């Protein structure tokens, strides 16, 4: 009994919530008069709508307090917002050091990064730190057993980094929100193009050539992220997505089906547990029923190597190869 009643109550609450805004909107029409409409907390006074038909009056300013100057921030809601800002030179130094020593792991905007560094804007340690007393020991000693290794740097430098991180927190609108300013554009071209060229030579050049099929690749796919996705996936043959084109006919997967009295060969159209569909040379298709291992089906897919390689690339290989391919303008 309790279950269904609970559900019914939840549903009712849902309906009431869903109806809420619409009811409020209806009540806000001028004819209903003032005072009934405001969805604001009770303390704020409901705006007085203009009399119907009066076009000279400005639209009501919902919830605005006329005394407040236009662009002033509301009182800082969190202690992190109330910190005095350090001298600009300290911030500048802290920022430079943060970007070179911490951002790879903690992210360029300090909200966490690819290499597993935690979000520092939401970090309870950083929020609770007054003047480096919590953060400095972590930087100096690291966190044994984690990727946070000890970073040997003078205390004054750590303090500058700490001041910089605090300044990001102090400027954020909401705790943990993105720091102010334009969004940080990630540059994924962080690899070593020379090492990438060498890797390409040993791993890829048996099938590709920088002056042949991949010539001008970076011109076709200027966005580094799209370029990386394209080469890692081997184009994925869909013809969709940035820079992708349909798979070349000669690179299509081929299939050989050995039936009791004949061998069927051609381009693979489809293969599942029940059917194999083969495109024959004359352009017709042949659909053959499968039952377990019979008949024998052998697929040769030139892209199969790409799948195998996926398991072998290290992050560095991927960064390096992308940096190299980005030079193939």
Sites of contact with ligand HEC (CB under 6 A): 101-102, 104-106, 115-118, 123-126, 135, 138-139, 143, 146-148, 151, 161, 200, 203-204, 206-208, 213-214, 217, 230-231, 234-235, 237, 245, 247-248, 251, 302-303, 305-306, 309, 321
Least distance from ligand HEC to the Cβ atom of residue 134, Å: 7
- Collapsing DSSP to helix, strand or coil, 47 comes out as coil
By CB atoms closer than 10 A (0-12, 13-18, 19+), residue 147 is exposed
Counting Cα atoms < 13 Å in the Cβ hemisphere of 257 gives 23
Residue of 64, 87, 84 whose CA lies nearest to 74: 64
Q: Please, are residues 294 and 270 in contact by the beta-carbon 8 Å criterion?
A: no
Tell how strand 254-258 and strand 263-271 pair up.
Answer: antiparallel
Q: Please, are residues 115 and 106 in contact by the beta-carbon 8 Å criterion?
A: no
Using CA atoms in the order 313, 317, 322, 325, what is the torsion angle rounded to 10 degrees? -100
Using CA atoms in the order 33, 38, 41, 45, what is the torsion angle rounded to 10 degrees? -40
Taking the least distance from each CB to ligand HEC, the nearer of 60 and 313 is: 313
End-to-end alpha carbon distance in the chain: 70
CA–CA gap between residue 197 and residue 323 (Å, rounded): 9
Least distance from ligand HEC to the Cβ atom of residue 222, Å: 14
Cβ neighbours of 325 (radius 10 Å): 25
Least distance from ligand HEC to the Cβ atom of residue 289, Å: 29
Least distance from ligand HEC to the Cβ atom of residue 141, Å: 11
Least distance from ligand HEC to the Cβ atom of residue 299, Å: 13
Taking the least distance from each CB to ligand HEC, the nearer of 138 and 188 is: 138
Least distance from ligand HEC to the Cβ atom of residue 29, Å: 50
Least distance from ligand HEC to the Cβ atom of residue 267, Å: 13
Q: Please, are residues 136 and 159 in contact by the beta-carbon 8 Å criterion?
A: yes
């Amino acid at each position: 009994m309790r279950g269904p009643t609970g559900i019914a109550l939840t549903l009712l609450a849902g309906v009431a919530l869903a109806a809420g805004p619409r009811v409020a909107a209806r009540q806000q029409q001028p004819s209903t008069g003032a005072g009934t409409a405001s969805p604001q907390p009770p303390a704020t006074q409901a705006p007085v709508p203009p009399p119907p038909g009066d076009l000279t009056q400005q639209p009501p300013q919902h919830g605005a307090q006329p005394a407040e100057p236009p662009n002033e921030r509301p009182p800082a809601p969190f202690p992190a917002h109330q910190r005095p800002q350090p001298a600009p030179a300290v911030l500048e130094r802290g920022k430079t050091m943060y970007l070179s020593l911490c951002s790879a792991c903690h992210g360029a905007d300090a909200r966490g990064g690819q290499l597993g560094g935690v979000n520092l804007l939401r970090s309870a340690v950083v929020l609770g730190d007054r003047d480096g007393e919590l953060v400095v020991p972590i930087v100096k000693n690291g966190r044994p057993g984690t990727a946070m290794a000890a970073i040997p740097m003078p205390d004054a430098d750590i303090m500058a980094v700490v001041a910089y991180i605090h300044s990001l927190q102090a400027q954020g609108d909401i705790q943990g929100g993105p720091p102010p300013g334009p969004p940080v554009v990630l540059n994924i071209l962080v690899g070593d193009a020379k090492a990438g060229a060498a890797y390409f030579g040993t791993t890829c050049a048996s099938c590709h050539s920088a002056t042949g099929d991949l010539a001008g690749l970076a011109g076709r796919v200027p966005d580094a992220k799209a370029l990386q996705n394209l080469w890692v996936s081997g184009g994925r043959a869909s013809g969709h997505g940035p820079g992708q084109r349909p798979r070349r006919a000669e690179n299509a997967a081929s299939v050989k089906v050995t039936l009791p009295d004949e061998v069927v060969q051609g381009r693979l159209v489809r293969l599942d547990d029940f059917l194999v569909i083969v495109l024959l040379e004359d352009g017709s298709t042949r659909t053959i029923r499968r039952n377990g291992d019979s008949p024998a089906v052998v697929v040769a897919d030139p892209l199969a190597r790409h799948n195998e390689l996926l398991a072998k690339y290290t992050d560095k290989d991927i960064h390096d190869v992308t940096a190299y391919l980005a030079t193939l303008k």
